[in-house]
Amino acid sequence: MRKLLIYILIILVFSCGCATTALKEDKTVKMQAASSTASNKDAYEDFKSASELIIPADITVSYMFAEVLNKGWTKEDKNLEKLLSDNEPAFKEFEKGLVKEQLTFPSVTNPEERRERLFTLNRLTELARLLNLRIQFQLYKKDYAKAVQYCFDIIKFGQHMEKGGNSLSSRMGMAIESNGYKNLRNIFLFQAKGLNYTRLLEKLQVLRGGTDSRTQLEKILKKEFFDIKLNVLPLVLSDFDWMDFTESYRKSGYTDEDIEQSIRVCYMDALQYIGLPYKEGLKKWILEEKPQNPVRQIFLPILKNMYIECGRLDTERDATFIIIGLESYYNKNKQYPGKLFDLVPDYLPSVPNDSFSGEPFIYQRRGKGWLMYSVGSDLRDGFGQIHSYSTPDGSGDIIFYKE
């Protein structure tokens, strides 16, 4: 009996010890989670403060805004100059967030948070637009060094957005980064003189090596795969469109589980294709002419378009790198090279290939200038005749030139 009591006492002490340890561990986990949440919230608040912008409400101002971005600045654009001045506090917050690398977009965890963050994303679209206007203003003042720095800021901004928590912020990031390269190219092709090409190529090389569009997209799609209900909405449809879509799907006899499973299969296919070179991967995204599954018909083209956007961004990035090499060559030789490989090794360490074809960019001397292009997502050589950005279906080449 005495031994039995001792055994019971030992068991009780051991149980209490385990319970205490478990409570401590649970408390530690909760404290860590709270700390992490607070940390993420702080980062998000800093991030959000960059979107507290003054946006022109007058449609006339908005029209002038578009004119400046298309045609350049004039002396009459005083109200836009004031707009930039009024937004200087927001620009400073943006630059602070950029230095701290806090301009990433967190994952969505509930519908209310999603709506709030979609609003913030819209404001960040306006921020990107104002940053473009800022570049144009510096070009008007002939401050090329500052304009180039702002281009690099936009590129880094886009890269941070690409590393965010959902595919919508990733797509926006790709568009912003691509826009930064376009601005940078325009400065070199039509504006700047006397810039340090070697230093700029070094900076661009760092930016090129700091991101892999397909890897980032793959990470984001893996996250979304495990929580389809919450994260798929901003990728494809509005709340109301999504409700209409699911309602019509249910009327066909499908359940919510059927819808989720169909979407998951689309994501699984996409994750298989994303890792492939574009020349191979694009041939995999084929839909049946008479699909049995309407979900697949809706979602696969969207995922394919994201894959194409990655390829276009890679093309923009590599083309900008080559173009700075071409301008560096011209700055020294007063003419452009006969072929791209003439840039190696004095002007470029290597010449990147066209992301879509896996082969060199097609390059031709044209008069005193040149024409260079990628075959684009249709994988067909269109001889640099039609730009894919100007066609409804995205067919055609991705064209770069200097006259």
Encode pLDDT of 83-123 as tens digits. Answer: 899 888 888 888 887 887 766 666 666 667 767 777 777 77
Q: What is the pLDDT of residue 108?
A: 62
Q: What is the pLDDT of residue 17?
A: 40
- pLDDT tens by residue, 226-267: 777 655 555 556 667 677 777 777 787 888 788 888 888 888
Say if residues 270 and 221 touch (Cβ distance below 8 Å). yes
Q: What is the pLDDT of residue 389?
A: 84
Closest CA to 66 of 156, 133, 6, 124: 133
Closest CA to 285 of 395, 293, 296: 296
| Residue tagged 């024409």 (tokens) | 371
Q: Which residues contact 374 (CB under 8 A, 6 or more apart)?
A: 315, 319, 354, 355, 356, 357, 361, 362, 397, 398
What DSSP state is assigned to residue 370? E
| Residue tagged 């492939």 (tokens) | 276
Q: What is the dihedral of CA 97, 100, 101, 105, to 10 degrees?
A: -50
Closest CA to 318 of 243, 398, 216, 227: 398
Ramachandran angles phi, psi of 399, nearest 5°: -105, 140
- pLDDT tens by residue, 303-325: 888 899 999 999 999 999 999 99
Residues 87, 155: Cα–Cα separation, whole Å: 20
Q: Which residues contact 396 (CB under 8 A, 6 or more apart)?
A: 376, 378, 382, 385, 386, 387, 388, 390
- pLDDT tens by residue, 21-79: 333 334 343 334 343 344 444 444 555 555 577 877 677 777 888 888 888 888 888 88
Amino acid at 131: L
State the pTM of this model: 0.81
H or E element: which one contains 403? none
